[in-house]
């Protein structure tokens, strides 16, 4: 049924779990904890290798945790249809609506048009377009959409500029797409899955999590600073380019815009729904204050906003006649990353199992032996793990395991607000720049064959270092803010 190599890969996860499960009988006081750690290895290994479909692996906690006696089925199943799942589903639908009607490409072309005509401006335009779009739609979809635009620009530049210049523009644009998408994802709560993992864990554990605007207050300035530094590093250090403008660039942009044409009624309707959702997310606090003033027994939530406007895309017609159907059809849902939604449920269930088995308490006890004066070193160590470990494993899987550890260690060092270290570590899990396997956007641009592995590793390493420095500074800033 399986090739021998794949069969061995599949067996390793459950084999390690079985060994730890048997070993747990030697330590009755920690038997549940040892077994759940074995389950965590099993799940993370299968997620990382994808030897079994991610969605299937994500249901393992639902099967194993009740068998281990750690948590009953009824307590685990709500994790698979929580408000976080609904929030991300709604975000996916809204993002797909932009993609369906090519609104994201219009946005990208407008950004390029305003970026400038020099090679450095072109790289910056591609990078910032990728950054902005990935704040709202999937990082992978952003990279896939931006890739043909950047290749078209490269083909044009290759005809009008010296080969050495066009090659630098190609490399800078390709990496700019990937890195812009990775960085843009941390700016909003719906930008990338790890953000949602942190939010979900905080809601489950503390009954509180940052809303859309609260997240952007931290995520937007940090990501803007990082994308600006990345652009400066690209255009002034790594890929030094001439200052002469590229001839024919304006004509290229205008020709693509003519192909797309002016905004149609259906595009305007889709954009209206998306902008309305973003408005409600950003101004959720003031809007809830107004609702409470009128004594309405109703409150806006991130998930409620996402689902409401996602449903609107199915209800608002494309145009007369009504038989044309809504802006979105159910057949469009096949593009949704359903495995990621199931992965959320599995990740939260695994986190629940670790907590119930005493993992958090164990970490607190272990970290209590570390002198309090070492808290900054421990924070830096966790940030380092977050940034470099995500180069070789799923950022969702990584952050699912790291967040309970971060919360436990934070409490041991007297850091009462879990966001202080939780946000920098979560951001770090999305900032993978070195390898094609690190993130889908990296893999997308590497597939263009315009970027060598050596170049990606070299450039990505420096960006990893920059990210670690900025994340450490962010940790200290948040510690002052939430002191």
Kindly report, residue by residue over 424-480, the tens digit of the pLDDT: 988 988 888 877 766 777 777 776 777 777 888 888 888 888 988 999 888 888 888
* pLDDT band, residue 308 (cuts 50/70/90): very high
Q: pLDDT at residue 274 above 80? A: yes
Mean pLDDT score, 376-387 = 79
* pLDDT band, residue 302 (cuts 50/70/90): confident
* Three-state secondary structure string covering the chain: CCCHHHHHHHHHHHHHHHHHHHHHHHCHHHHHHHHHHHHHHHHHHHHHHCCCCHHHHCCHHHHHHHHHCCCCHHHHHHHHHCHHHHHHHHHHHHHHHHHHCCHHHHHHHHHHHHHCCCHHHHHHHHHHHHHHHHCCCCHHHHHHHHHHHHHHHHHHHHHHCCHHHHHHHHHHHHHHHHHHHHHHCCCCCCCCHHHHHHHHHHHHHHCCCCCHHHHHHHHHHHHHHHHHHHHHHHHHHHCCCCCCCCCCHHHHHHHHHHHHCCCCHHHHHHHHHHHHHHHHHHCHHHHHHHHHHCCCCCCCCHHHHHHHHHHHHHHCECCCCHHHCECCCHHHHHHCCHHHHHHHHHHHHHHHHHHHCCHHHHHHHHHCCCCHHHHHHHHHHHHHHHHHHCCCCCHHHHHHHHHHHHHHHHHHCCCCCCHHHHHHHHHHCCCCCCCCCCCHHHHHHHCCCCCCHHHHHHHHHHHHHHHHHHHHHHHHHHHHHCC
The confidence score (pLDDT) of residue 2 equals: 45
The full set of domain ranges for the chain reads 1-52, 84-335
- Please, what is the average pLDDT of the chain? 80
* pLDDT band, residue 357 (cuts 50/70/90): confident
Q: pLDDT at residue 179 above 80? A: yes
Mean pLDDT score, 311-327 = 80
């Amino acid at each position: 049924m399986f090739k021998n190599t794949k069969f061995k890969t599949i067996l390793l996860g459950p084999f390690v779990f079985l060994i730890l499960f048997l070993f747990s009988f030697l330590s009755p006081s920690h038997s549940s904890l040892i077994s759940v750690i074995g389950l965590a290895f099993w799940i993370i290994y299968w997620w990382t290798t994808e030897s079994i479909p991610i969605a299937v692996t994500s249901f393992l906690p639902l099967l194993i945790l009740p068998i281990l006696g750690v948590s009953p089925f009824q307590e685990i199943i709500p994790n698979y249809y929580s408000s976080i799942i609904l929030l991300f589903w709604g975000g996916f639908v809204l993002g797909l609506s932009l993609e369906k009607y090519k609104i994201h490409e219009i946005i990208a072309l407008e950004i390029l048009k305003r970026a400038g005509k020099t090679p450095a401006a072109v790289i910056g335009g591609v990078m910032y377009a990728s950054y902005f779009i990935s704040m709202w739609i999937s990082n992978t979809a952003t990279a896939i959409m931006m890739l043909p635009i950047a290749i078209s620009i490269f083909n044009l530049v290759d005809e009008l500029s010296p080969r050495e210049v066009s090659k630098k523009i190609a490399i800078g644009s390709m990496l700019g797409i990937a890195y812009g998408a990775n960085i843009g994802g941390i700016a909003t709560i719906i930008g990338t899955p790890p953000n949602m993992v942190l939010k979900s864990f905080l809601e489950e554990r503390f009954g509180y999590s940052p809303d859309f605007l609260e997240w952007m207050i931290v995520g937007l300035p940090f990501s803007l600073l990082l994308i600006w530094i990345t652009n400066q590093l690209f255009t002034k250090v790594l890929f030094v380019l001439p200052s002469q403008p590229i001839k024919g660039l304006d004509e290229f942009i205008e020709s693509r815009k003519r192909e797309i044409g002016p905004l149609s009624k259906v595009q305007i309707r889709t954009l209206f729904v998306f902008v309305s959702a973003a408005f409600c997310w950003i101004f959720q606090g003031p809007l809830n204050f107004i609702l409470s003033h009128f004594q309405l027994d109703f409150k806006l939530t991130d998930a409620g906003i996402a689902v409401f406007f996602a449903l609107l895309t199915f209800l608002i017609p494309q145009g007369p006649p009504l038989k044309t159907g809504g802006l979105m059809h159910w057949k469009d849902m096949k593009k949704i990353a359903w495995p990621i939604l199931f992965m959320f449920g599995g990740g939260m269930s695994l986190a629940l199992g670790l907590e119930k088995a005493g993992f958090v308490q164990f970490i607190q006890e272990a970290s209590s032996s570390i002198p309090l004066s070492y808290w900054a070193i421990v924070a830096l160590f966790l940030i380092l793990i977050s940034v470099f470990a995500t180069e070789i494993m799923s950022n969702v899987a990584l952050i699912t395991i790291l967040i309970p550890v971060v919360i436990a260690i934070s409490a041991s060092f007297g850091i009462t607000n879990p966001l202080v270290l939780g946000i920098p570590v979560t951001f770090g899990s999305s900032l993978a720049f070195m390898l094609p396997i690190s993130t889908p956007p990296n893999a997308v641009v590497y597939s263009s064959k315009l970027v060598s592995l050596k170049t990606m590793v070299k450039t990505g390493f420096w960006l990893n270092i920059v990210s670690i420095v900025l994340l450490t500074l962010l940790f200290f800033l948040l510690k002052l803010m939430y002191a």
